[in-house]
């Protein structure tokens, strides 16, 4: 019996020691895993920051090469020609009929107009004068006259030297 008591006390103390060492090992492992997790989080944060920096630098470089502001200032001659040609091509049956009716009504009005019935050419001429912008009435200047005008505009070099 004494022997059994001795074994039972030993086993109890060894169980307690094993339990304490198990707890210590468990705490160590938990601390290690926490450190690893913190390191992983900080690395991912650093990666995200470096990605943002790279994106910003790329965007700055792209702004340098961005010519959209310049293209807005330039006139778009090609787009207006293309849009007008596409509008003409997109006439379907219904819109074509409406256009024919409208133009036919306008032609009837012109034909029934008394001034057109009296003198058609004079009526057309008068209509064009009212609707068209006035033509430029500049005289054609000869080459010699242009040179003379340029000379007259330039101040003489001798008068400049006297002013100094």
What are the residues whose beta carbons fall under 8 Å from the beta carbon of 124, sequence distance 6 or more? 116
| pTM > 0.85: yes or no | no
Residue at token pair 């160590």: 28
DSSP state of 149: H
pLDDT band at 61 (very low <50, low <70, confident <90, very high): confident
The predicted-structure confidence for 88-139, as pLDDT tens digits, reads as follows 566 788 888 999 999 999 999 999 999 999 999 999 999 888 888 876 655 5
Four-residue CA torsion sign, 35, 39, 42, 48: negative
Determine the straight-line distance between the first and last CA of the chain, rounded to whole angstroms: 133
d(CA 47, CA 39): 12
Residue position matching structure tokens 């944060």: 45
- Cα separation, 144 vs 137, in Å, equals 20
């Amino acid at each position: 019996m004494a022997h059994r008591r001795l074994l039972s006390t030993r086993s109890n103390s060894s169980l307690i020691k094993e339990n304490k060492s198990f707890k210590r090992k468990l705490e160590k492992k938990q601390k290690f895993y926490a450190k690893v997790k913190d390191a992983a989080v900080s690395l991912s944060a650093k990666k995200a920051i470096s990605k943002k920096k790279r994106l910003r630098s790329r965007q700055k470089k792209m702004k340098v090469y961005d010519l959209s502001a310049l293209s807005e200032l330039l006139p778009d001659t090609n787009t207006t020609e293309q849009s007008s040609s596409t509008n003409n091509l997109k006439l379907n049956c219904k819109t074509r009929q409406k256009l024919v009716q409208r133009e036919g009504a306008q032609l009837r009005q012109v034909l029934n107009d008394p001034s057109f019935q009296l003198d058609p050419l004079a009526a057309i001429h008068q209509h064009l004068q009212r609707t068209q912008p006035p033509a430029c009435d500049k005289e054609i200047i000869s080459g010699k006259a242009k040179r003379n005008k340029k000379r007259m505009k330039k101040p003489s070099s001798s008068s400049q030297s006297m002013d100094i």
